[in-house]
């Protein structure tokens, strides 16, 4: 089992929904894997079983994150952090040195922004942005300058 990835996914699940969410995802992943990749428990666990278990975790954590983008969650150390998107609209993973986090002023008060800083295959900067809240029909983002 890839303990590092599993630990990271569990840490994210704790941040988004506490121990109840961790338990829920574990039960769902274990049931799914037992149904599709039965194993008698002897020898090393088959790699496809481990991969399927982690895939269920990954999918559920991504769903929970997407539902909470732009909201504050309490971290296990008692501090608070805003949930950002996992990927840009073009599918690039966002993270350290891959995203520019900002604020777009608007008549509605404003929008948090996450702008992708990934270099694409053609050498250009992706530049796709995620806004929270999504700009509505009456929004007018205010430019600077």
Domain boundaries along the sequence of the chain: 3-69, 84-145
Q: What is the pLDDT of residues 23-53, one digit of tens each?
A: 999 999 999 999 999 999 899 999 999 999 9
User: Does position 1 have pLDDT exceeding 60, yes or no?
Assistant: no
Q: Is the pLDDT of residue 71 over 50?
A: yes
Give the CA radius of gyration of the chain: 19
Give phi and psi for 125, each to the nearest 5: -80, 135
Q: In 40-90, where do the E strands start and end?
A: 72-74, 80-82
Q: pTM value?
A: 0.69
CA distance 144 to 45: 57
Specify the pLDDT at position 145: 40
Tokens of 77: 């150390």
Helix pair 3-36, 47-68: axis angle to 10 deg: 110
Q: Which residue has the higher pLDDT, 143 or 114?
A: 114
Residue 125, sorted as left (phi over 0), alpha (psi -120 to 50) or beta, turns out to be beta
pLDDT level of residue 143 (50, 70, 90 thresholds): low
Averaged pLDDT of the chain: 88
Backbone dihedral angles phi then psi of residue 113, each to the nearest 5 degrees: -130, 145
């Amino acid at each position: 089992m890839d303990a590092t990835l599993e630990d990271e996914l569990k840490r994210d699940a704790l941040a988004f929904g506490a121990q109840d969410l961790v338990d829920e995802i574990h039960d769902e992943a274990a049931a799914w894997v037992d149904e599709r990749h039965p194993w008698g428990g002897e020898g090393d666990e088959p790699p496809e079983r481990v991969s399927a278990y982690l895939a269920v975790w990954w999918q559920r954590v991504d769903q929970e994150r997407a539902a909470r983008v732009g909201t504050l969650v309490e971290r296990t150390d008692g501090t608070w952090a805003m949930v950002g998107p996992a990927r840009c609209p073009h599918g690039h993973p966002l993270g350290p040195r891959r995203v520019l986090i900002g604020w777009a002023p608007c008549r509605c008060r404003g929008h948090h922004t996450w702008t992708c800083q990934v270099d694409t295959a053609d050498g250009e900067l992706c530049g796709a942005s995620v806004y929270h809240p999504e700009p509505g029909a009456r929004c007018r983002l205010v430019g600077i300058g």
